[in-house]
Amino acid sequence: MLMHITIIYPNKNYLIERIYEMSESIMEISDGSFDSEVIQSEKPVLVDFWAPWCGPCKAIGPIIEELAGEFGEKIKFAKCNVDDNPVSPGKFGIKAIPTLIFFKQGKVVDQITGMVAKSKLQQTINSIL
């Protein structure tokens, strides 16, 4: 899946466009699909709440992709753009990004905000499996 990001700098006379390839094992979810893909999921779900302008979100993205490759059979990985989908982050009181929320049987079982080491994420995933 390709993710197209356009960054416009209002005080400068240019914009930056980047196309990122998102792992096939990470799904993009919206406010409309959140319940069916996350709350009603039979597998545990890690949801990465992010925004295209967020530096730490960009930094943790490749780590999430690596984890999706490692744990994709056991846990569902999803990304939710908070700019395009404000309802879902509001339901969970998200005030900062990146925020990773871990769901199991439709309930929040853990939450991590900010950039963290891959080993911390592996530990958290293993604890909910």
Hey, which residues are catalytic here?
A: 54, 57
d(CA 24, CA 86): 24
Residue whose structure tokens are 């949801």 = 47
Q: Please report the beta strands in 22-118, taking only residues with DSSP state E, as ranges in sequence order.
A: 26-28, 45-50, 76-81, 99-104, 107-113
8 A C-beta contact, residue 19 and residue 3: yes
